[in-house]
Amino acid sequence: MLEGNPRPGKKLLATGNGRCNLTNLHISPERYHGDAEAAKAVLSAWPARQIMEEFGSLGLICTSDAEGRVYPNSLQAAAVLQALWSACEEAGVETAWNFEVNSITPEAGGFLLRSKNGEALFAEKCILACGGMASPKHSCGEKGYGLIKSLGHTVTELAPALTPLKTSSKLCRSLKGNRCKAKAALYQNGEKLGEQQGEVLFGDGQLSGICIFDLSSLLGKKSEKVEIRLDLLSRFSVQGITSYLKQLQKNRPALPAGELFSGALNLRVGQELVKSLGFSREMPIGELSARQLKCAAEAAKELRFPITGPSPWESAQVTAGGVPLSETELFSMESKKCPGLYLTGELLNLHGDCGGFNLHWAWATGMAAGQSAAKACQAC
């Protein structure tokens, strides 16, 4: 096992906010992007229960939440790393840290691997589990693409995913530090690319939160005419909200317009929404016209944020794009371009939603590749 970092598992320790959301009870190709259709075979061969059983056999008890997200029972990512690490030690796995592989050369009967410090070693089979471009402070994964291309593979266009979305909206800036529940939809050229429900966080020039991260997976590098539209009151129709506002106007005509949504929305979000409509905040709501009330209801149902692109790799949790799955044998994960080489995880053209789907893909392909490579070595 070769690792470019001074120690293994740096990224694993950071997953799930230090709790490691290691899989999800609702694994299905619909929760993945990229070559999701091709991934079906691997995902059905390695369901969540199987992964939990594998960890169970190492002594790690798992627990799941209402949304099917699976964590170690201790809610400590360190427990997952410890289980894997002690199993490696027991199995006598030879390791080298600070060994950043710089080149892989196929040779008779295997591969010659060289590190950036000039060390060399020979391996009969080689499993590439280099990860991707996301979160470079946790991994030196960007090197993997050069290695894989040198071995005859292609790599699709890469883009940060599960990342905040950048916006030029002044409204977002004035809401910095606030959060609210919403149904968020991603549009390009007026066409809806996807929709997610959850908590939205307003940052300095960016929108984030799990639902925004999931939508970022659909964006790729697209940045022209992209919008996020937030439905802040998804349980109600425009008509329902308008009737509510009219009733409020009747009951409390002296209420300042700035407080129009104070009974329905996060206070600050409601105030900024009213401000964005150009209403004077001090004006009594009794003076608002029926049309203005309808406009306010419409804005609460579809608050628009122009998007200028995904946040950079530093903020991303995964990489969209990678080696096409058509270049590997599914089930064994062996390369079709370079026999004896196996590909796993984020390096491949598949990434999942937030919720344990990405680590699941890493375990599933890792198990498949490990078992196939071991079998092939025994047969040699």
Ligand X SMILES: Cc1cc2nc3c(=O)[nH]c(=O)nc-3n(C[C@H](O)[C@H](O)[C@H](O)COP(=O)(O)OP(=O)(O)OC[C@H]3O[C@@H](n4cnc5c(N)ncnc54)[C@H](O)[C@@H]3O)c2cc1C
- Does residue 131 bind ligand X (CB under 6 A)? yes
- Does residue 274 bind ligand X (CB under 6 A)? no
Type of residue numbered 136: P
- Does residue 35 bind ligand X (CB under 6 A)? no
Cβ at position 376, least distance to ligand X in Å? 20
Span interacting with ligand X, options 148-156, 176-184, 356-364, 371-379, rule CB under 6 A: 356-364
Binding positions for ligand X, 280-319, rule CB under 6 A = 317-318
- Does residue 121 bind ligand X (CB under 6 A)? no
Cβ at position 5, least distance to ligand X in Å? 5
SS3 category, 105: strand
- Does residue 134 bind ligand X (CB under 6 A)? yes
Nearest to ligand X of 258, 352 (CB atom): 352
- Does residue 27 bind ligand X (CB under 6 A)? no
Query: Cβ contacts of residue 65 below 8 Å, gap of 6+?
Result: 71
Nearest to ligand X of 38, 140 (CB atom): 140
Cβ at position 15, least distance to ligand X in Å? 3
End-to-end Cα distance, the chain: 20
- Residue from 316, 20, 311 nearest 141 by CA: 316
Q: Are strands 126-128 and 341-343 parallel, antiparallel or unpaired?
A: parallel
- Does residue 3 bind ligand X (CB under 6 A)? yes
Structure tokens at 93: 């796995």
Nearest to ligand X of 305, 363 (CB atom): 363
- Does residue 353 bind ligand X (CB under 6 A)? no
- Does residue 199 bind ligand X (CB under 6 A)? no
Query: If you search the block for the tokens 């016209």, which residue do you land on?
Result: 289
Nearest to ligand X of 114, 275 (CB atom): 114
Distance between CA 347 and CA 21 in Å, rounded?
A: 20
Nearest to ligand X of 317, 335 (CB atom): 317
Query: If you search the block for the tokens 């419409």, which residue do you land on?
Result: 298
- Does residue 148 bind ligand X (CB under 6 A)? no
As a three-state string, the secondary structure of 131-192 is CCCCCCCCCCCCHHHHHHHHCCCCCCCCEEECCCEEECCHHHHHCCCCEEEEEEEEEECCEE
- Does residue 246 bind ligand X (CB under 6 A)? no
Cβ at position 144, least distance to ligand X in Å? 5
Nearest to ligand X of 100, 199 (CB atom): 100
Provide long-range contacts, Cβ within 8 A and 24+ apart, for 260-269: 260/285, 260/288, 260/296, 261/296, 261/300, 264/233, 264/300, 265/180, 265/232, 265/233, 265/300, 266/178, 266/179, 266/180, 268/175, 268/178, 269/175, 269/178, 269/180, 269/232
Instruction: State the residues that interact with ligand X by CB under 6 A.
Output: 2-5, 11, 14-16, 20-21, 100-101, 129-131, 134-135, 138-141, 143-144, 317-318, 345-347, 356-359, 362
